[in-house]
């Protein structure tokens, strides 16, 4: 009997429940898809490094899932509380007919169970279907082959989804049971008779609050996005807090001002349904300021997370492409303790290391450069910049500007040979001249200033002057990103081997195709590790060596990029769905409450087209307002991310922002469309 009533209740209020159910299904599906990645990727043939990265990815996802579950849980509790409020009349009727509170609770329990099981089932079905697509995406990202692919269902992800959502539904049931046990018949009965009081806020107060909030917000933007000299954790925290509070008060004041502004333009206000439309919007915003604030902040987080994640991924991939122009990069140096300078890694030759094992590094490579750099004791950026350091770094947002670092030297002939290998521009130097090469963010500009003033340097007993006013944007060593903080290139006769520093070897394998290069890499790597492992330095000193390869760098970049992208998508998607669902529920119930108003408008002879335009505007502004402010927030947020993460974010934001916008329009816009169509259907004349 109870079950029958529950079922018919759900069927009856299907319009209210549809979007709730839809959101639950989406939530379940997304939850499953991301948690099933581990199982889905088990069959992929990937390298050990990538397997490790996938493992990190899945661990991160299960960590984030807890947070996601909390967000979804709050959404579900909010939505169910909301749907319950709409049914107060119905509960009052049950109570009047003598149904006990326990029975009503049982009824609600029954309904939640039906909806819960239904949403879990449908969501898991969709999730299992889409996770097959996800496998392909992961395989594509890690460039793995999918030959062994077969349809996979992840039991652990199913268990986890059911467990997490089961807990959420249990919380909802407990909550609604509690609410029912506390409520009183008379309040339930009177809940429908709302005597809506329209309190117009004092317009001047609104203007003042708005101006103050705007000023505080601008301060917060400035602090995180522009004022990098004084930035510290305390100020960032304060700016975030100020941002949240001012967001709330901006909505508070806008809800009061918007109407006033439109009202003052009599020609606009008294045109068609405008007066009605704007009153509706204003009262809607007035009653949902807190939700609007939360939604705005969630949208802000979503936009920043998604676009930054995509940018990081692009930056990493592009970084490897641009900054790792050779297959193999090894370095070696002896650890010397001569006590005369603090540059303790000096001399050493890779050839000697190989020679000890009767091997030669040159066998593995088609083209290569073997060279070393030179160091002058205590020649650092500060030495170079002298008393102009503060002036140079003052306006810079770069992390490098805050540090001091050694500057090493290269012989002109070595530099040109390296550039030839990299396929980059070679340079010429006259006697007594030097050039500077750097590519780390912000540094070339600083060097330019020094070079423009023909700053002379005295190194290795020579005094040199700049050959050009421009710093060369290049790096002699490969890396996954532009990280050369400065190398000075001097004529061959200006250095002596006495100042010899680290020994470097860069080269390309003989093989040209993918498989050949992988095989060559394995040989070269094994050889390198082998000789380094067995090496005994003559004096018994320690030594250091390092090896990086293009293939390894690329797969790391892909892996980290994938990690960041997946987490961004996961969080972004759930946040967008939550925002959309809250707004949609609010708007739809608002439309249901306003139905008599639309009936009256029809009696007054308002055309359907006008009514649907009014509904469109109402939902449009309702959805657009938090988005607009979130976009403003995001602009400052992205500027902050660009600086705060300047080692990771080197690529520009344009494409990721467009991509984020597409996702946003698809999901948030989809909810808007559903809301608009739903509202239209609700207020449609029932015949």
Beta strands in 318-392 (DSSP E): 328-335, 345-346, 365-374
Which of residues 267, 339, 430, 540 is near other proteins by CB under 8 A?
Answer: 267
Nearer to other proteins, 200 or 205 (CB): 200
- Rounded CA-CA distance 109/117 in Å is 12
269 binds other proteins (CB under 8 A): yes
539 binds other proteins (CB under 8 A): no
680 binds other proteins (CB under 8 A): no
Which of residues 274, 344, 527, 537 is near other proteins by CB under 8 A?
Answer: 274
Q: Shortest approach of other proteins to residue 196 CB, angstroms?
A: 6
Dihedral angle over CA of 412, 413, 418, 421, nearest 10: 140
Which of residues 341, 420, 456, 607 is near other proteins by CB under 8 A?
Answer: 607
600 binds other proteins (CB under 8 A): yes
Which of residues 602, 639, 680, 684 is near other proteins by CB under 8 A?
Answer: 602
Q: Shortest approach of other proteins to residue 251 CB, angstroms?
A: 19
270 binds other proteins (CB under 8 A): yes
143 binds other proteins (CB under 8 A): no
SS3 191: coil
Sign (positive/negative) of CA torsion 557, 653, 573, 662?
A: negative
Tell me how many residues contact other proteins (CB under 8 A).
29
Contact region for other proteins (CB under 8 A) — 24-32, 192-200, 379-387, 512-520? 192-200
Q: Shortest approach of other proteins to residue 266 CB, angstroms?
A: 5
131 and 155 Cβ atoms separated by less than 8 Å:
no
Nearer to other proteins, 101 or 597 (CB): 597
223 and 235 Cβ atoms separated by less than 8 Å:
yes
Backbone phi, psi, residue 636, to 5°: -65, -40
618 binds other proteins (CB under 8 A): no
606 binds other proteins (CB under 8 A): yes
192 binds other proteins (CB under 8 A): no
514 binds other proteins (CB under 8 A): no
Which residues share a beta bridge with 500? 374
Closest CA to 651 of 295, 205, 323, 241: 323
Would you give the end-to-end CA distance of the chain in angstroms? 31
- Rounded CA-CA distance 382/390 in Å is 10
603 binds other proteins (CB under 8 A): yes
- Rounded CA-CA distance 206/209 in Å is 5
The CA-CA-CA angle for residues 92, 98, 102, to 5°, reads: 80
174 binds other proteins (CB under 8 A): no
271 binds other proteins (CB under 8 A): yes
Q: List, as one string, the DSSP characters of 22-33.
A: HHHHHHHHHHHH
> Which residues within the stretch 196-215 sit at the binding site for other proteins (CB under 8 A)?
196-198
Q: Shortest approach of other proteins to residue 200 CB, angstroms?
A: 9
Which of residues 88, 132, 283, 462 is near other proteins by CB under 8 A?
Answer: 283
Contact region for other proteins (CB under 8 A) — 81-89, 271-279, 525-533, 557-565? 271-279
531 and 357 Cβ atoms separated by less than 8 Å:
yes
605 binds other proteins (CB under 8 A): yes
Q: Shortest approach of other proteins to residue 280 CB, angstroms?
A: 6
Closest CA to 251 of 581, 629, 631: 629
| DSSP label at residue 200 | P
Which of residues 63, 129, 237, 272 is near other proteins by CB under 8 A?
Answer: 272
- Rounded CA-CA distance 334/332 in Å is 7
190 binds other proteins (CB under 8 A): no
Contact region for other proteins (CB under 8 A) — 120-128, 209-217, 246-254, 599-607? 599-607
191 binds other proteins (CB under 8 A): no
CB contact set of 419 (below 8 Å; sequence gap of 6+): 425, 426, 427, 474
Contact region for other proteins (CB under 8 A) — 92-100, 148-156, 264-272, 452-460? 264-272
Rounded to whole angstroms, what are the CA distances from 22 to 6, 27, 114, 215? 19, 9, 14, 40
297 and 290 Cβ atoms separated by less than 8 Å:
no
Which parts of this chain interact with other proteins (CB under 8 A)? 195-198, 266-267, 269-276, 279-280, 283, 596-597, 600-608, 610
């Amino acid at each position: 009997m109870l079950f029958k009533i529950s079922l018919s209740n759900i069927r009856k209020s299907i319009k209210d429940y549809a979007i709730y159910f839809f959101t639950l299904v989406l939530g379940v599906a997304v939850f499953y898809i991301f948690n099933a990645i581990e199982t889905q990727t088990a069959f992929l043939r990937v390298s050990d490094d990538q397997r490790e990265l996938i493992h990190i990815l899945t661990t991160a996802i299960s960590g984030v899932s807890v947070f996601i579950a909390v967000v979804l849980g709050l959404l579900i509790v909010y939505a169910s509380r909301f749907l319950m409020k709409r049914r107060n009349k119905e509960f009052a009727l049950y109570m009047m007919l003598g149904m006990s509170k326990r029975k009503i609770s049982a009824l609600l329990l029954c309904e939640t169970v039906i909806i819960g099981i239904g949403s879990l089932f449908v969501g898991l079905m969709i999730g299992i279907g889409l996770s097959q697509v996800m496998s392909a995406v992961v395989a594509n990202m890690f460039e793995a082959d999918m030959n062994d692919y077969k349809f996979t269902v992840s039991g652990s992800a199913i268990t986890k989804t059911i467990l997490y959502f089961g807990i959420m539904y249990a919380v909802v049931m407990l909550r609604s049971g509690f609410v029912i046990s506390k409520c009183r018949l008379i309040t339930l009965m009177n809940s429908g008779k709302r005597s809506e009081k329209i309190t117009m806020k004092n317009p001047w107060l609104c203007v003042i609050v708005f101006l103050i909030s705007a000023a505080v917000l601008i301060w917060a933007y400035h602090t995180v996005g522009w004022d990098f000299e004084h930035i510290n954790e305390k100020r960032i925290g304060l700016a975030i807090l100020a941002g949240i509070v001012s967001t709330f008060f901006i909505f508070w004041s806008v809800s009061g001002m918007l109407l006033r502004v439109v009202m003052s333009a009599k020609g606009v206000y008294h045109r068609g349904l405008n007066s009605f439309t704007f009153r509706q919007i204003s009262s809607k915003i007035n009653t949902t300021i807190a939700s609007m604030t939360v939604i705005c902040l969630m949208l802000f987080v979503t936009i920043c997370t998604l676009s930054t994640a995509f940018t990081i991924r692009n930056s990493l991939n592009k970084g490897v492409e641009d900054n790792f122009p050779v297959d193999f990069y090894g370095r070696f140096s002896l650890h010397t303790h001569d006590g005369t300078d603090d540059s303790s890694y000096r001399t050493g030759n890779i050839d000697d290391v190989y020679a000890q094992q009767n091997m030669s590094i040159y066998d593995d490579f088609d083209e290569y450069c073997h060279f070393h750099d030179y160091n002058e004791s205590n020649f650092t950026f500060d030495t170079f910049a002298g008393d102009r350091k503060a002036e140079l770094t003052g306006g810079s947002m770069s992390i490098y500007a805050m540090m001091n670092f050694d500057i090493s030297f290269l012989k002109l002939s070595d530099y040109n040979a390296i550039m030839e290998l990299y396929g980059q521009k070679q340079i010429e130097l006259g006697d007594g001249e030097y050039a500077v090469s750097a590519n780390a963010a912000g540094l070339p500009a600083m060097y330019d200033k020094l070079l423009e003033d023909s700053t002379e340097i005295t190194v290795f007993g020579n005094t040199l002057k700049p050959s050009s006013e421009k710093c060369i944007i290049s790096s002699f060593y490969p890396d996954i990103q532009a990280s050369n903080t400065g190398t000075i290139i001097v004529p061959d006769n200006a250095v002596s081997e006495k100042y010899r520093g680290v020994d470097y070897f860069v080269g390309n394998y003989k093989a040209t195709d993918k498989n050949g290069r992988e095989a060559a890499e394995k040989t070269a790597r094994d050889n390198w590790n082998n000789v380094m492992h067995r090496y005994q330095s003559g004096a018994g000193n320690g030594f250091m060596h390092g090896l990086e390869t293009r293939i390894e760098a690329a797969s790391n970049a892909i892996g980290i990029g994938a990690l960041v992208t997946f987490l961004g998508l996961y969080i972004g998607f759930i946040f967008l769905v939550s925002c959309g669902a809250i707004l949609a529920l609010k708007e739809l119930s608002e439309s249901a409450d306003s139905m008599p108003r639309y009936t009256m408008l029809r009696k007054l002879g308002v055309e359907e087209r006008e009514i649907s335009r009014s509904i469109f505007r109402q939902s449009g502004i309702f959805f657009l307002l938090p988005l607009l402010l979130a976009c403003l927030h995001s602009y400052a947020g992205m500027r902050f991310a660009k600086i705060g993460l300047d080692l990771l974010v080197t690529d520009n934001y344009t494409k990721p922002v467009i991509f984020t916008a597409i996702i946003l329009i698809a999901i948030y816009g989809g909810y808007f469309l559903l809301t608009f169509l739903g509202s239209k259907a609700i207020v449609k004349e029932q015949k």
